[in-house]
Structure 1
């Protein structure tokens, strides 16, 4: 194992690198590997063009042929506002630099908006798989609201040569019902046209913040994942879980929310980060739909945090990382270095499934 990975984990190194899952055994999972598309998706209802685009993504970049994915997502110009997102590095106001970072960083795909990818499609759509994000939460409505709305049509993504579309659903929000219907219809059309589908399975409700932030609880995010694969997302993007017991917390005080079984916490998970992530994966049809965790916001310890997230995801049985702000909110050479540090975790054969 590379010493840089061990060093990045610090005091957590032993707990994360040597942990054996005590809940869901690895033998129950459909794990990443060079034959992942053949083994998992060929028996499905996905057509030949979808299989081809999935295979293209899994065979691009530094992780080609491993069954793992490293994706650069840059839709923050809408989701977090252009100024707030790119002030640290104004070069990324230019869409071409976004695609260059993904290429130079050895990513399997680049995920961004209709505008960004459409502006450079003829130059790059054949060089790296495009993943077009079709809906967004715009931040100019006052006061701000959490509401994903469509920014274009699936056919636009197809016409620019995209390999996949991505979408977000804010599960738990007032608008989740409409978003589920819209995204399900979009995913159906994308599969018809031969594109893969990726769902940002995010939770959004002020009530989910009580004694802890249960937007990142394993049980609630796991259920969001399960809803995501129900509408045939091929890959699920989810935040790394930080706690558990969201259903329990929301049912305190006599309220009735969702359904739970104590075995979710006693038999299917534990307090270890790897078990929490594995519970998310179990809700992705035991790994038949790949689980990629998000890299999160940039901060003081980006490299260490990115490596930690990658180790947890890989050891849980996940499919990779999708990391944006940690990479593009710094000079391009450093962004490439960070993306490569993530990929090194998945290339390191000493880091195994727990």
Structure 2
């Protein structure tokens, strides 16, 4: 995609995003995505050679191979949001093979999905695209809804499916978060022993985080701290929602803060808020991939390209886009994912 097309899609936000200079965390402090990212960041870590091999396999697959950036297709919404709600717009994805076909056709770095999906097609596809097996889910049938995650299989089972990595969700801030932290940290330790990389869906959930009509579950300060907890349990890649607000700790009046968090380390610019997330990922040592979010129809392409620009210029490592791709005709889903990848391939778009 030409840079002019990207600018057109950004519309009125083009100037504020493409010309922004970050004056919070200097880009010189970051561990930036690059072709030799694994050598520079992980070679001196405790990750064994098999984990390094797995991390490299993810970064060296698809259209973004060798750039240090990642475009991942996640399709676990059949459990997390019900299969009917997720696949009604495009029923072909009730068949899990089509999920893998979309990721392959789009040139994704990896596909992240459930035990059931990957078990159904593992022999045919595990050697063709890196699998990220999602270990746990919120099963969504319990009423009223609870913010818990249940293990749907073992790390060993993921390894037997030929997985390159395992993924898991922790709902930081929920009543069940203590157990989730213990359970997922133990699973990640075992995954590393077996040579698999680890990806953490690093979300925050608490009804008290919603105040005066604003949802601070996506605040820069709160999500940043969630990221810091995620890398502390040795997640190699952090998946997080883009921040769209700040000051959650101060508005809700809990946690520990410093005025510099809001006056020096962040600003109202979305790139600066995202950079705060990157900084909390040990200055980018764990790659930050931001999620695409729900599909809004015609605006999906422009919104997703905007998210990619924010993530890339902030120092992030890519996007993980699901519903906006698979809730539309197959070819249009491929085009949307290609548009995301084109942002990361565009040399004109650099670190802020």
Shift of residue 145 of structure 1? 1.4
Q: For residues 42 and 197 of structure 1, what CA distance do their matches in structure 2 show?
A: 16
Q: Scaled by the length of structure 2, what TM-score is found?
A: 0.98
Following the alignment from structure 1 to structure 2, what is the Cα–Cα distance between the partners of residues 271 and 24? 14
Matches within 5 A, 1:117-136: 117-136=118-137
Query: How many aligned residue pairs are there?
Result: 349
Shift, 1:2, TM fit: 1.9
Deviation at 1:340, TM superposition (A): 0.2
Which SS does the other structure have where 1:285 is aligned? coil
Match of 1:307, SS?
Answer: helix
CA shift for structure 1 position 170: 0.2
User: 1:4 Cα deviation (Å)?
Assistant: 1.4
RMSD across aligned C-alpha pairs, in angstroms?
0.6
Q: Which residue of 2 aligns with 1:41?
A: 42
Q: Distance in 1 between matches of 2:143 and 2:272?
A: 40
2:180 is matched with which residue?
A: 179
Which consecutive aligned stretches of 4+ in structure 1 deviate over 6 angstroms post-superposition? none
Deviation per CA, 1:140-179: give whole Å up to 9, x if none: 1122212111110000000011000000000000000000
Partner of 1:232 in structure 2? 234
Q: TM-score, normalising length from structure 1?
A: 0.98
Q: Which residue of 1 aligns with 2:30?
A: 29
In the TM superposition, 1:181-220 aligns within 5 A as 181-211=182-212, 212-220=214-222
CA-CA distance at 1:191 after TM superposition: 0.1
The answer for the alignment partner of 1:292 in structure 2 is: 289
Q: How far, CA to CA, are the matches of 1:78 and 1:322 in structure 2?
A: 17
Question: Equivalent residue of 1:13, what SS?
Answer: helix
Question: 1:336 aligned to 334, 337, 344, which one?
Answer: 334
Encode CA deviations 1:200-235: one digit per residue, 9 max, x unaligned.
Answer: 000100111112110110000000000000000000
TM-superposed CA distance for 1:110, in Å, is 0.1
Structure 2 residue ranges without an equivalent (≥5): none
Residue 197 of structure 1 deviates from its aligned partner by 0.2
| Structure 2 Cα separation of the partners of residues 4 and 328 of structure 1 | 23
Task: State yes or no: 1:170 paired with 2:167.
Answer: no
